[in-house]
Chains A and B, each alone.
Chain A
Amino acid sequence: MSIVHVERQKSEDGEAQYTVQESPMAPAWEPGASLSVVGKPIPRVEGDLKVTGRAQFAYDVRLPGQIYAKVLRSPHPHARITRIDTSKAEALNGVRAVLSRATHPDVPWFEDTRLFEETVRFVGEEVAAVAADSEEIAEDALRLIEVEYEVLPFVVDPEAALRPGAPKLHDDGNLAGEPTEYERGDVAATLGQADVVIEQTYVTQAALHNCMEPHGCTATWEGDRLTIWDSTQSIFDVRDEVATRLELPKHHVRVIKQFMGGGFGSKQIAWKHTGFAALLSKHSGRPVQLMLDREAENLAAGNRNPTRQHVRLGAKRDGTLVFIECDAIMAVGAFMVGGEASDVDGTYQTLYRCPNVRTKQTPVYTNTGPAVAFRAPGYVEGAFALESAMDELARALDMDPLQLRMKNYSEVDQTADKPYSSPQGLRRCYEAVAERFGWHAARSGSTEPAERQASGRKRRGIGFAGHDWIGGAGHPPGYAWLKLNNDGTADIVAGTQDIGTGSRTGLLQVAAEELGLPFEKLELHLGDTAFGPYAPVSSGSATQATIGPAIQAAALDAKRQLFEAAAPMLEVAPHDLEMHDGSVYVKGQRERQMAVSEVLSQIDPHMIQGHGSRGPNPEDKTIHTFGAQAVEVEVDVETGEVTILRVVAAHDCGRIVNPLMVDSQVVGAVTQGIGFALTEERLVDMGRGFVVNANLEHYLVPTVLDIPEIVNVHLDLPDTVANPTGAKGIGESPLVPTAPAIANAVYDAIGVRIRQTPLGRSRVLAGLAEQGAKR
């Protein structure tokens, strides 16, 4: 049974605040503990549903009387709507409801903006929504809506947006909040103390999530109750945000998500489609499905914020870092949607031991679609710059880049002056990658790469990068319920969601391990706000580390009650009992046992229910996750094409609960990293303000033909300081070091430093041409 501890504190403004801690968590599975289910490569429990087409995604919901919705979007990057007339659309046969500013001028949505804005700020911003008997009729209706715009000047480039006289997106100007500044030590005072200084500007692009299942939902508003099947990473956030904005009690909104076709950070908020579908259902009296088409998905469903990072690193001749400095600006797009979470500055402050660090990051509004978190937001962008700069520093010092990293290793979170919960985690990643890749052998005898491989069309090089990441720790609150059934099975209920990462399987492994019931006897029910206890958003690589310990605690709670029930049956004290393989045993006497089903049948219909809650993280330690990757590339100096030949990755995700799924996460993230590094870039026509490649034909995500062998070295490093299961998240971190490792390998191959992602053919050729011109 969990216990809630509440403490009253006064906040700075004198208001009462309450801090909540819940206990107990289960005793930790210490490193070296003999575990029978956790650590096994069990295939996904929902596999049969996914391979038969029976897994029901939001897009697949089919309800009686269901109709379909489409959205009219702005063709202008910046304009004021002076007139909108939807009467012809409403009159079309088969049209059931139409929404626009005319019908709903004041529904609040993101921050200070509304569901329908009078001023549209990017190409693709929502202007009206139509529900009709078919998608085709809805499309016809969109063409009948008359809109007049007063076109306004616009700005796409974030630096241009900061200049005096730039077109203003919002009354307060184009700064999306105050810049975030951080300093420790004194960078200015130590500038002269470095023997070598690297000073460069690095640029990262706007990357698009392009989840296979677009954003969207099916909604049905019946009486004063609203049910939404949303393609979301956070059923509870969608519930709360929709309820607040549409003025419904939270518990009258039910959000369901069983399967989702990818999210990668972009589906962690209630986007406008949820409001449109809900209101269209209310007005039509029908269930409404509204799924974005691929173009809208690329325009108005989030992106990784493009950045420009000015970096200065100073080091002593022996490689010791003297200072690190970064001044970053990032384009957040037309407005803040509330799910950005992009700390470009983070890794500069923590990855290396360095007494003098100064960072500044400035978020800027631009007339482009709003940014939102994208798998390790901020860290992917920051790591590209920092790890490229570290490679430049290693070259300048004539040092092995791995040795330079070891030289500046930090076992402490220097921003909080706390040790890490796994202070050797990153070192183990470095070592594992170096060993499996054969880093030292590959480097030995190498000189300046341009000289080493001065001839030949195809040139090979190797590159290395490491990283840290603030995600993966998990955090309270989070809950689980467990009921034992009299046939010896158990149902576990949690309000979390499986976003495609394998959470169903990994969480069940935790339950089976603690409970002592066979894995196949357990079932996990999740993804429904009406039936599950609260769980936070599945982002920040948090689900396993947040809900896992709650499930472990619920299993322990149920097991203790079962021992109470079995004790009189076996004529011993409850503490003399243990449970495994579906039976309760008297400790040390294997022959004195009862099957769990037998114990429960004896008390039926009384039942045993376990409750578990996620306890607090340690106060005196910082929980980060870490990783490193090495890559080998081949560069064609005639076409500029970069081919990845192999990737070796090692990541510290604590205890590995399921190696099959950890491998899939790592390989998948590296694959996305290859796309980010080489081909993926949202292209905006600077003169017209529209996205020219808002589709999967010209926005190039990697295909099966683009991916080399990717090896994930398993580091099983149980982190029981972090939580009693010892497991941390792995979802995001393996994307972080891929792009800088590739850029560093490209330099190794051709001696050209490319400081802008993606490293497409034109950038490689331009770099080669510039190199030729210098000679």
Chain B
Amino acid sequence: MHLVSFRINGDERSLAVEPRRTLLDALRADLALTGTKKVCDMGDCGACTVLLDGRAVYACLTLAVDCEGREITTIEGLAHGNELDPVQRAFVEADAYQCGFCTPGQIMSITALLAEQSAPTEDEIRRAVSGNLCRCGAYQNIVKAGQRAAELVAATRTNGSNANGSRASAAAGAGDAPGGRR
């Protein structure tokens, strides 16, 4: 067992994990943060997308022990209490899901995009979620949700209020969403 410490959704946490434990299993089994989903466990589907130092990564391809001292944001870290952040609101408004299993990963990919590019083109939105599979086929509305989220974020910034999702924005560094699938 190795001790690893990181900051997750704003909280400092330390875990004793086997070196082979993925970040995904650490989130789901050790921290009971089950919003991040396990679908393929081999980097094909994007359902486990989280932000690592502001950058979208697949948690199933990241070892927990590699997260020492790093900053992780999961789907549970976006809303403020019961108040949804703009990307989450946009997904509800656009019906950008059916079963909802891929949704956390889709939202994290869009969140990473908006942190880097506040006014993305439709093509940029598509590219940002091209590594996120949705078997229910909600892609059309996921793209709409991405556009709506950009509008909501822009509106929040214009108003100068304490922007929802600012945590992700602040954490955003250089980088890109996981690449397109093919």
Q: How far is the CA of A134 from the CA of B28 in the complex (A)?
A: 12
Q: Does B2 contact A (CB under 8 A)?
A: no
- Known A62-B34, A664-B141, A703-B181; contact A51-B40, beta-carbon cutoff 8 A: no
A261 interface hit (Cβ, 8 Å): yes
Chain B residue numbers with a CB within 8 Å of A135 are: 25, 29
- Is the CB–CB distance between B35 and A54 below 8 Å? yes
CB-CB < 8 A to A60: which residues of B?
Answer: 28, 34
Complex CA gap A291/B29 in Å reads: 13
* Assembly CA distance A260 to B44 (angstroms): 20
A695-B47 in contact (CB<8A): no
Chain A residue nearest to B127 in the complex (CB): A705
Q: Assign chain A's interface to a size class.
A: 35 or more
A231 CB, nearest partner CB in chain B, Å: 10
- A660 on the interface (CB 8 Å rule)? yes
Let me know if A197 is at the binding interface, CB within 8 A. no
CB contacts (< 8 Å) of A136 on chain B: these are 18, 20-21, 25
Name the distance in Å between B112's Cβ and chain A's nearest Cβ: 15
CB contact list, B38-53 vs A, under 8 A: 38-42, 44-45, 47
Q: Closest chain B residue to A697 by CB distance?
A: B44
- Choose among B32, B89, B104, B135 the residue with the greatest number of A CB atoms under 10 Å from its CB: B135
Contact of B92 among A51, A53, A703 (CB under 8 A): A51
Closest to B93 in A: A43
Q: Which residues of chain B from 93 to 149 have any CB-CB distance to chain A below 8 Å in the complex?
A: 93, 95, 97-104, 107, 126, 129-130, 132-143
Pick from A50, A59, A660, A661: contact of B34, CB under 8 Å: A59
Contact B92 A44 (CB under 8 A): yes
Which of A43, A262, A700 touches B99 (beta carbons < 8 Å)?
Answer: A262
Q: Does the CB pair A48–B37 fall under 8 Å? A: no
| Contact yes or no, B130 A212, CB < 8 A | no
Decide: B76 and A668 in contact? CB cutoff 8 A.
no
Contact A210-B92, Cβ < 8 Å, known A55-B100, A62-B34 = no
Other A-B contacts than A47-B92, A664-B138, A701-B135, 17 sampled, CB-CB below 8 A, are: A43-B92, A48-B88, A50-B97, A51-B84, A51-B91, A52-B79, A53-B36, A53-B74, A56-B34, A59-B37, A62-B32, A134-B18, A211-B101, A211-B135, A667-B140, A668-B98, A707-B139
A window 42-79: CB within 8 A of B: 43-44, 46-57, 59-60, 62, 68
Contact call A210/B21, Cβ cutoff below 8 A: no
Cα-based distance from A260 to B101 in the complex (angstroms): 8
A16 at the binding interface (Cβ < 8 Å): no
Distance of A707 Cα from B82 Cα, bound (Å): 34
Q: Chain B CB within 10 Å — which of A56, A68, A214, A668 has the most?
A: A668
User: Which of B88, B89, B100 has the most CB atoms of chain A within a 10 A radius of its CB?
Assistant: B100
Q: A134: which of B29, B98, B130, B137 is its contact (CB, 8 Å)?
A: B29
Indicate if A4 sits at the interface (CB-CB under 8 A). Answer: no
Q: CA of A703 to CA of B42 in the docked complex: distance in angstroms?
A: 17
Contacting residues, chain B, for A280 (C-beta < 8 A): none
Q: How far is the CA of A633 from the CA of B89 in the complex (A)?
A: 35
Select A293's contact among B41, B129, B130, beta carbons within 8 Å.
B41
A204 sits at the interface (CB 8 A): no
Contact status A697-B42, CB under 8 Å:
yes
Check if A696 is an interface residue, CB within 8 A of chain B.
yes
Docked CA distance A530–B34 (Å): 25
Kindly state whether residue A502 has any CB partner on chain B within 8 Å: yes
User: In the complex, which residues of chain B have a beta carbon less than 8 angstroms from the beta carbon of A29?
Assistant: none
Counting from the closest, the 9 A-B pairs by CB-CB distance are A53-B35, A671-B137, A261-B101, A500-B99, A50-B100, A668-B137, A60-B34, A47-B92, A53-B75
5 A-B residue pairs with CB within 8 Å = A261-B39, A294-B40, A664-B138, A696-B42, A707-B139
Cβ distance A556 to chain B, nearest Cβ, rounded Å: 29
Alpha-carbon distance A47/B89, docked complex (angstroms): 9
B84 touches A52 (CB 8 A): yes
Bound complex: CA A710 to CA B140 (Å): 8
Q: Is A173 an interface residue (CB 8 A)?
A: no
Contact of B98 among A53, A210, A502, A670 (CB under 8 A): A502
Partner of B39, one of A52, A294, A704: A294
Q: Which of B18, B42, B78, B100 contacts A294 (CB 8 A)?
A: B42
| Residues of chain A with a CB closer than 8 A to B126's CB | 704-705
Residue contact B135 to A262, C-beta cutoff 8 Å: yes
- List chain B positions with a Cβ less than 8 A from chain A: 18, 20-21, 25, 28-29, 32-42, 44-45, 47, 74-76, 78-79, 82, 84, 88-89, 91-93, 95, 97-104, 107, 126, 129-130, 132-143, 180-182
Residues in B neighbouring A705, C-beta threshold 8 A = 126, 130, 180-182
Q: Which residue of B lies closest to A668 (CB)?
A: B137
B56 to chain A, nearest CB (A): 15
A309 within 8 A of B: no
- Say whether A669 contacts B74, CB under 8 Å: no
- Docked CA distance A660–B96 (Å): 10
Question: Is A259 an interface residue, CB under 8 A from the partner?
Answer: yes
Distance of A324 from chain B, by nearest CB (Å) = 32
Q: Which residue of chain B has its CB nearest to the CB of A54?
A: B35
Q: Is A339 an interface residue (CB 8 A)?
A: no
Residues of A within 8 A of B102 (CB): 212, 261
> Contact at B101–A48, with CB atoms within 8 Å?
no
A50-B172 Cα distance, complex, nearest whole Å: 24
For residue A501, CB closer than 8 A to chain B, the reply is yes
Name the distance in Å between B40's Cβ and chain A's nearest Cβ: 5
The chain A residue sitting closest to B100, CB to CB, is A50
Of B20, B29, B91, B137, which one neighbours A707 at CB under 8 angstroms? Answer: B137
Closest chain A residue to B180, Cβ basis: A705
By a CB distance below 8 angstroms, the chain B residues around A709 are: 140
- Of the candidates A134, A262, A294, which one forms a contact with B41 in the assembled complex, judged by CB atoms under 8 Å apart? A294
Task: Using known A-B contacts A59-B38, A664-B95, A696-B44, determine if residue A704 contacts B75 with beta carbons closer than 8 Å.
Answer: no
Residue numbers in A under 8 Å from B21 (CB-CB): 136
> A640-675: which residues lie under 8 A (CB-CB) from chain B?
660-661, 663-665, 667-672
Q: Contact between A52 and B140 (Cβ–Cβ < 8 Å)?
A: no
A39 within 8 A of B: no
Q: Is the CB of A52 within 8 A of B75?
A: yes
A213 at the interface (CB under 8 A from B): yes
The answer to whether A499 has its CB under 8 Å from any CB of chain B is: yes
Does A24 make an interface contact (CB < 8 A)?
no
A702 within 8 A of B: yes
A660 and B95 in contact (CB under 8 A), knowing A55-B100, A136-B18? yes
Instruction: Say yes or no: A704-B99 contact (C-beta < 8 A), given A52-B35, A695-B44.
Output: no
Contact of A703 (CB < 8 Å), options: B34, B91, B98, B130: B130
A501 to B95, CA, bound (A): 11
Task: Determine whether the beta carbon of B37 is less than 8 Å from that of A213.
Answer: yes
Of B93, B134, B138, chain A has the most CB atoms within 10 Å of the CB of B134
Is B143 a contact of A704 with CB atoms below 8 Å? yes
* A262, B101: Cβ atoms closer than 8 Å: yes
The answer, among B35, B78, B100, for a CB contact under 8 Å with A261, is B100
